Structure 1
């Protein structure tokens, strides 16, 4: 994960602090430790963001922000990753979580109707909720661990690759100077 690539898309903390809707979080937003891009802070931010994204709750972004603050990881990445479950992907993700939860509970999963409506969900909520909660937490934990490991591996691979390229350039320069 190149630091420059991530910094290109990061918002300015001072601009966020001045927004009226985020004033209650201005202390947290102003903390420079939550804007650092290191292998640890980015990997943990991916974990927090993926975990929060898989939870079927309102205010996932607030949960991600609090998780970033508690784990001292990158705040914008944690909050931004929550948008993996956006209004377009949310029904599919949460239905998949429900199916996983039903499988873990060893209960038959209800088939989704051709058109899912809020009425259908409200009528089936008592049956759906335990499996959805279990599946969401299980998926969140697994994805958080996998995201953390993957970011650390990719980051390490990129650094070792850049070291090898630098070493090769030095060798070529020395060889050219000696010739």
Structure 2
């Protein structure tokens, strides 16, 4: 069984969603066939939205990606699945990389790495800055880095999936053209 067929077989049908008491209220929006169709644009947009919200927002990623997929007419299952780009294994490296990117873009000063949360006074490198001021200073580079990463990776995944989809279509079409007539 091909991968796409296996994925489709594991997805809930529209009828199952309509009968689900927790999702029934979404019925008017979720029943659009375009939201479930496996097309190049829909899948690429769904993955891009999922990656965008997965990187940008640490909580409520799935509901936000579904809402964006409904508004932008993207594939909902791929939007939901691609939010898992951030998980307990990848969360730390992604946020550290986003912080470093934010420090580079904003030109902020690096903060010392020996922060003792049990003794806030010992965590202050600058004697004039309080512990909460230092945490706030970490926030700006992190937010800038997350926003840039989310936008760049969302656009990159959209372009990459579109290119791969187009390449597969061309390869299949060439294979059919070379096949002997039956």
Task: Give the corresponding residue for 1:158.
Answer: 168
Aligned pairs for 1:131-170 (under 5 A) are 131-170=141-180
Asked if structure 1 preserves the Cα contact closer than 8 Å seen for 2:30 and 2:70, the reply is no
In the alignment, the residues of structure 2 paired with residue 116 and residue 52 of structure 1 have an alpha-carbon distance, to the nearest angstrom, of 29
Equivalenced residues, count: 169
Asked if structure 2 preserves the Cα contact closer than 8 Å seen for 1:14 and 1:30, the reply is no
Q: Deviations over 1:5-37 (max 9, x none)?
A: 652453333323433333443333222221111
Tell me the TM-score normalised to structure 2 length: 0.79
Task: Give the corresponding residue for 1:177.
Answer: none
**Structure 2: gaps (5+ residues):** 124-130
Which has the larger helix fraction?
1
Task: Give the corresponding residue for 2:93.
Answer: 92
Task: Give the corresponding residue for 1:33.
Answer: 34
In the alignment, the residues of structure 2 paired with residue 80 and residue 87 of structure 1 have an alpha-carbon distance, to the nearest angstrom, of 15
**Structure 1: gaps (5+ residues):** 175-179
RMSD over aligned CA atoms reads: 2.8
